[in-house]
Structure 1
């Protein structure tokens, strides 16, 4: 998996390519955890992610919790159909989780 990361001041964009699963999660976690402390806003650009399973959900949940603990935030950008469907399903099944806030900036299900 390719994991391009761009940093601009206090903002970073992590742009994984391929699948987010149990095999790729450690590298993605390392990329996110290696960001400078000055980064407070992280965007996960999912445009090139063709598949995501529960490992991706756990990754994003962990990253959301870490960001909040540091006074920062994460957002999602451009998820393809399958990852977006999984995120929406997680939001329905676990409404107390971080899924609804992460989906807030994305088009509603009926617009897809």
Structure 2
């Protein structure tokens, strides 16, 4: 399954909408888009991601560390149950900024 990504600016936040499976084959698509984003306040909308492997998890953790360490903010929103379970099993729910919706993440 191909990964589709698009971004838009909402109230000072870059919101990146992701659709498709996020795995070793597709992570570079999202990684490239994040690299091109000049904004240091980013929300990744994962509502369209039914599956994420540890490669996707690593990308999310890397961007969390990069932006939060540089005075920015990295948030994720609208995780499907299977993706949320991955963060819970790896005990990253307490570390990452996970929100119910994009609106919650940007407020």
Q: Same fold (TM over 0.5)?
A: yes
- What is the alpha-carbon root mean square deviation over aligned residues? 1.6
Counterpart in the other structure of 1:34: 36
CA distance in 2, matches of 1:26, 1:80: 21
1:104 Cα deviation (Å)? 5.2
Counterpart in the other structure of 1:53: 53
Contact conserved, 2:77 with 2:98, CA < 8 A, in 1? no
Cα distance, 1:104–1:44 mapped onto 2, change above 3 Å: closer
Using structure 1 for the length normalisation, give the TM-score. 0.79
State which of 7, 23, 26 in structure 1 corresponds to 2:25: 23
- The structure carrying a bigger strand percent of its residues is 2
Using structure 2 for the length normalisation, give the TM-score. 0.82
Contact conserved, 2:8 with 2:15, CA < 8 A, in 1? yes
* Rg comparison, structure with higher value: 1
Contact conserved, 1:10 with 1:40, CA < 8 A, in 2? no
Q: How many residues matched?
A: 98
| Per-residue Cα deviation, 1:48-82 (whole angstroms, up to 9, x for no partner) | 00100101110001111110232111111110011
Q: List alignment gaps of at least 5 residues for structure 1.
A: 92-97, 107-112
